[in-house]
Structure 1
Amino acid sequence: MELSIVLFFPLFAAFFGFFIDEKSIKTYAIITSFIELCLTLFLWYKFDAINNSIMLEVIPFIPNLGINYILGIDGISLFLVVLSAFICFVSLISLNISKRKKHLIISILLLEMTMMGVFLSLDAILFYIFWELSLIPMLYIIGFWGSENKIYAAIKFFIYTFFGSIFMLLGLIFMAYLHYKTTGSYSFSILDWQRLAIPKNTQIWLFLAFGIAFAIKTPLFPFHTWLPYAHGKAPTIGSILLAAVLLKMGTYGFVRFSLPIFPDASYYFANFICIIAIVMVIYTSFIAFYQKDIKQVIAYSSIAHMGVIMLGIFSMSIEGISGAIFFMVSHGLVSGGLFMLIGFIYDRTHTKEMAKFGGLAKIMPIYATIFCIMILGGIGLPLTSGFVGEFLSLLGIFKTNPWFAVLGGFGIIMGAIYSLNLYKLTFFGKITNKANLTLPDLKSFELCAIIPILVLVLVLGIFPNTLLVWINDGVLNLLSFMYDKASDETTTKFIKSANELRMIYGK
């Protein structure tokens, strides 16, 4: 029951939002999003990681077709659910848009519901419905409240993601048919699919069907071109939600579907995906360095960071996958915080060109200090959450292929170069625009929005086990399951050598 309440509370909040007047709608949204955050924290409180449990809710829906209402949460999805609620809460506090504000807030609450649905669903049809529904509010947010060429950006975002979803739908249908051929009954339960013995060649084709959808959403090179444009034209709150949560739906899909259901195919494609991820990290880092738009720098840095996450996932090691999930949370905080900060300065200056910002540290010292810490979190400085995620992801891939780790590390060094260059051009040197001399520092509502993010970036960097205890448990179960299910001996040897857990696996 708790999972259903977390899932549908934003929907009810959005519905009742229609009856709230324009002046009170932001306060109403902040209160309801805070309640949703408290509900997700209650899930964390109830979650029993020590006993390797998974919280489940199952209600038969169309049993003859194997379609059921199945929600579940484990160490892999728990903190992505909490992250979604937290980011929606702080982004609503930071909201500074007056144009049709009620419609925007209702769209955000509906988007929150779809994000919860993706991370909670353990029925593939339910997962697919929420995956597709997430396109609608984001399309509306970009297309209505975005900047110049917003319609093109919104349509490009929609077409890319919808194109990938077609392949996933075909994969879902074939998986249900495969379950019928094997057991005599249809099923869209992800847990049932995980128990299926699927030949390696079939796994390869199904991995591609699901993988295309996940790769576009992540986005993996060369499917990344929609993201910088969407970020560039989206309103601030759209960029925050897109970078902090929506991108994680793609990487989460690889962990939830690809690894446990297609373990042999995952190993088969692991090196190829890691090479693509490295190209993505290095290529987008070089592009980020030459950007003049501050928002585009952070957009390309997001793509690079998602590449590091993919390296961790396809290392198939407990360090790598746990680090990747931790990095998803960390990147959500850091990228969301940076886009929020960029939105604050854009509201004051109505420009995103770094050349027009020089010397801001003298004018807005509090803003400059917070921006500095968030940039350092993005770089992966020790004692920030970014360091833990990057280090564990690279450690995991180092155990399986040291050269991948070295090249990935080079991309991270590039990230430090363009991030520090951004900070230097924006905050140091002479004041290049005299109009900036009168800019006010952060307002109280802006501080209320950004300070919680800042605190979490530091707390998780100093005390990473706050999350890792639960994440490690879920990943250990995943790897143990992959090892037992893999039919190809090279896959089992790879998983065993990557994790050195022979006593646990028992093979």
Structure 2
Amino acid sequence: MVALSFLIWLPLIFGVFAWISENKFKSSGNWITLISLSGLLIFSIYLGINGTSSLSWEWFARFNIHFALLFDGLALLLVILTIALAMLAVLVSWNDIEKHRGFFHFNLMFSVAGIIGVFLAADLFLFFLFWEVMLLPMTALILIWGHEGRRYAALKFFIFTQVSSLLMLVAIIALALYHQDQTGELSFNLGQLQQLVIPENMQFWLMLGFFIAFAVKLPMVPFHSWLPDAHTQAPTAGSVLLAGILLKTGAYGLIRIVLPLFPSATMEFAPVAVTLGVISIIYGALMAYSQTDFKRLVAYSSISHMGFVLLALFSWHEVALQGAILTIVAHGISSAALFSMAGLIQHRIHSRELGKMGGMWASAPKMATVTLIFVMAGIGMPGMANFNGELFTLLGSYQQFPVQTIVASLGIVLSAVYGLHLFQRAFQGPPNVDVVDLHMRELVFTSLLVVALIYFGLQPHIVLDLSSETISSLMQIAGEAHP
């Protein structure tokens, strides 16, 4: 299905168009990017309505590398999330970018193309290519349009991701060579590589190469230290993409590659991975409470929330896997929403420090109300999307790892502590500063985020239906590995 490749090429084409247009007509880049993303969203939904589709072109025949794409329910879900949050990134930074505006829109769309490529790739070499492609424009977003410590943050982000990516590349090459030994030809195709018979000791080391790369992006303690710096120094649009989408590529890699390719190794490694997930949950929550910077607090909360995803995935339980995917979607929306509010406040008072806020409810009641809703979503209030993900995660994980799950549940209590602490410091108490309330454009996109969080909170079956095929496949693989 040739049209499937347009999901990758169109963002690049429109990104170049927005770059050229912005250099000639000021502010045209905003409209071109927003309209093209809207069209891309409609196009992806249209492709999704037609059901699972795939594409495979011979690329490097000598090495049996194909431009192979797979568009199933899980990919559709994450592609829609990517495009929707990219639209949010444009809206929230509408008036923030003052230099190289055209190049900013190009990098934004370049990031979207790379991320969508990661979600669609059915060939490991192609997956690695898109994994590297999405790194470059995101580094540029931090380095060029970031804040005071942007150079250090961009370099740290690049080094962490690049080093871990090299481990993944080694594992990919080793898998292709194993396929050659067993069948007589190289292969990077995910479906074909699942049929390999790999010795258990080697399976563990190959799994570890992928796991570290994805754990860095997730991020998981102890590979997390790049995230708070990157989030804090990135422009608001960069923070929205990082928290809402880029972290999810790590979780997606675990679901699409690590679990199906190495079921036995992941089951043996599960106690370690689950323990690291629980440590991430508690550590992220405690660090979030200790922060005085709005964006840094939300960044550490992301480490805590993504720990639930790691816990769920390595529990190898159907309900837990459902919880992981629900959490991926819910956290993508709620964290992007909180970073948007942090950006709107910083644009008004030119500071992220909670000590310079306080009492803003008096002058900005609309901003305070939507922020409170986003905080409630983040701490898992029933009726909001995050609640379903955490509930399913804990219910499923408890069946396999009861002690670790009980400890992990403390993270929900701690999230309420740091979430309400954030809101109290910023919006309650004596007024320290008067701020302009939400404008119409800001009120529209924040209201849509509120609707999304409530809608997916009340209708989680939409997410579960789209991901059911992937979860069923994983459970079948688990049954074959350990009947």
State the partner residue of 1:266: 266
Q: Does 1:94 align with 2:92?
A: yes
Quote the Cα distance in structure 1 between the aligned partners of 2:198 and 2:72: 24
- 1:4-403 equivalent positions in 2, closer than 5 A: 4-20=5-21, 21-47=25-51, 54-95=52-93, 96=95, 97-403=97-403
Gaps of at least 5 residues in structure 2 are none
Deviations 1:406-455 (A, max 9, x none): 11110121111110111111111111x2xx23x21101121232222211
With the length of structure 2 as denominator, give the TM-score of the two structures. 0.97
Quote the Cα distance in structure 1 between the aligned partners of 2:98 and 2:45: 31
SS at match of 2:362: helix
Greater alpha carbon shift after TM alignment, 10-19 vs 30-39: 10-19
Contact 1:142–1:153 (CA under 8 A) maintained in structure 2:
yes
Quote the Cα distance in structure 2 between the aligned partners of 1:333 and 1:350: 25
Contact 1:61–1:67 (CA under 8 A) maintained in structure 2:
yes
* Matching residue within 461, 465, 468 for 1:465: 461
SS at match of 2:198: coil
How far is 1:44 from its partner?
2.6
Q: Does 1:445 align with 2:441?
A: yes
Gaps of at least 5 residues in structure 1 are 48-53, 487-491, 494-507
Quote the Cα distance in structure 2 between the aligned partners of 1:255 and 1:12: 30
Greater alpha carbon shift after TM alignment, 159-168 vs 314-323: 314-323
Quote the Cα distance in structure 2 between the aligned partners of 1:407 and 1:134: 35
Contact 1:30–1:89 (CA under 8 A) maintained in structure 2:
yes
Contact 1:384–1:462 (CA under 8 A) maintained in structure 2:
yes
Instruction: Please list every run of at least 4 consecutive aligned residues from structure 1 whose deviation after the TM superposition is greater than 4 angstroms.
Output: none
Contact 1:75–1:475 (CA under 8 A) maintained in structure 2:
no
Contact 2:18–2:28 (CA under 8 A) maintained in structure 1:
no
Quote the Cα distance in structure 2 between the aligned partners of 1:402 and 1:409: 11
Quote the Cα distance in structure 1 between the aligned partners of 2:442 and 2:98: 16
How far is 1:17 from its partner?
2.0
Q: Which residue type is aligned with residue 3 of structure 1?
A: L
Q: Which residue type is aligned with residue 43 of structure 2?
A: L
Deviations 1:206-231 (A, max 9, x none): 01111111111111110100000111
Quote the Cα distance in structure 1 between the aligned partners of 2:395 and 2:125: 35
Quote the Cα distance in structure 1 between the aligned partners of 2:45 and 2:295: 31
Quote the Cα distance in structure 1 between the aligned partners of 2:61 and 2:142: 38
Contact 1:3–1:120 (CA under 8 A) maintained in structure 2:
no
Q: Which residue type is aligned with residue 463 of structure 2?
A: L
How far is 1:45 from its partner?
1.7
State the partner residue of 2:450: 454
Q: Which residue type is aligned with residue 453 of structure 1?
A: L
Quote the Cα distance in structure 2 between the aligned partners of 1:63 and 1:237: 39
* Matching residue within 457, 475, 484 for 2:471: 475
Q: Which residue type is aligned with residue 294 of structure 2?
A: I
Q: Which residue type is aligned with residue 69 of structure 2?
A: L
Contact 2:92–2:236 (CA under 8 A) maintained in structure 1:
no
How far is 1:325 from its partner?
1.2
Deviations 1:4-34 (A, max 9, x none): 1112110111122233133311111110111
Q: Which residue type is aligned with residue 34 of structure 2?
A: I
Quote the Cα distance in structure 2 between the aligned partners of 1:255 and 1:18: 35
Aligned residues: 477
How far is 1:98 from its partner?
2.1
Q: Which residue type is aligned with residue 112 of structure 2?
A: E
Quote the Cα distance in structure 2 between the aligned partners of 1:404 and 1:473: 28
Quote the Cα distance in structure 1 between the aligned partners of 2:27 and 2:292: 37
Greater alpha carbon shift after TM alignment, 167-176 vs 5-14: 5-14
Contact 2:20–2:102 (CA under 8 A) maintained in structure 1:
no
With the length of structure 1 as denominator, give the TM-score of the two structures. 0.92
Deviations 1:340-376 (A, max 9, x none): 0110111000011112211111211111110011111
SS at match of 2:54: strand
How far is 1:46 from its partner?
1.9
